[in-house]
Amino acid sequence: MGRSTIKDERSLRALQALASQPAPATAAPGSKAPGASRSARVAASAAGEIRIIGGQWRRTKLAVLTKPDLRPTPDRVRETLFNWLGQDLAGWRCLDAFAGTGALGLEAASRGAAQVRMVESDQQLAAQLKQLVQKLGASTVEVSRGDALAALQSGSGRWDVIFLDPPFSGALFEPALKAAHQALAEEGFVYLEAPEAWSDERLAPLGFMLQRSMKAGAVHAHLLRKRNQQPA
């Protein structure tokens, strides 16, 4: 077992310990706050946090692991994305193909999506996603540990929105877009998050057109539709 795997397992156990800790007592004015347990301190250093922006779980904060190449979609980008899509996703079927922390899939569920499937290949992250779904009581969300491309290839014409946020260090963008074209409903949307801008000319051979885009720091966000659909 490699050092990184051991570290991930320790981080996950620490995160679970933090979640089970009772809320600390409020310190009296001028007194010192109660000391945190060792497991809580470890969890705080190993864990990050995401915040749901809108919907039924609006403002809910969720502790998440931090791992190399794991980038929760920033709040500002998520807020813009769901302004593009519309605040109410009632009846939508959503696939979060590279789920990571689950920020996109859980946001969609919070806004009323009828079905959300979150796919994550990392064992620790998939386990964490199941814990978050259970904590929220998110009955419309399914978590699968597996390969994102395989999940995309198994859902021909099914999804109303597909979230694609592959590792920036990999070469999965084009294969994921090709698979997403087949998996997407005719009037559906693909959200693509990438380290560089994808132009309409670059997307055209893959069967997509660019409808909206923005840049926030190192993140380029794109909203795509199939080329036979008229922009909204």
Binning the chain into helix, strand and coil, the percentages to the nearest 5 are 35, 25, 40
Handedness of CA 60, 101, 161, 74 (dihedral sign): positive
Write down the pLDDT at residue 69.
76
Tokens of 82: 């769901």
The CATH topology of domain 69-226 is Rossmann fold (3.40.50)
Q: How far is CA 68 from CA 71, 89, 122, 129, in A?
A: 9, 31, 12, 17
Say which residue the tokens 């998520």 belong to.
78
pLDDT of residue 54: 95
3-state secondary structure of 71: coil
Residue keyed to tokens 């409903």: 185
Q: What is the pLDDT of residue 232?
A: 54
What residues in the chain have per-residue pLDDT under 50?
1-46
What is the Cα–Cα distance from 110 to 53, expressed in whole angstroms? 9
Instruction: Locate 93 and state its tokens.
Output: 């079927």
How much is the pLDDT for 230? Answer: 57
d(Cα 225, Cα 187) in Å, to the nearest integer?
7
What pLDDT shows up at residue 228?
Answer: 76
Question: In what helix (H) or strand (E) does residue 209 lie, and over which residues does it extend?
Answer: strand 208-216
Structural element, H or E, at residue 126:
helix 123-136
Which whole-number Å values give the CA distances from 128 to 7, 44, 102, 182, in the listed order? Answer: 15, 15, 9, 29
pLDDT one-digit tens code per residue, 181-217:
999 999 999 999 999 999 999 999 999 999 999 999 9
Are 209 and 224 in contact by the 8 Å Cβ rule? The answer is yes
Predicted confidence at residue 28, as pLDDT, reads 42
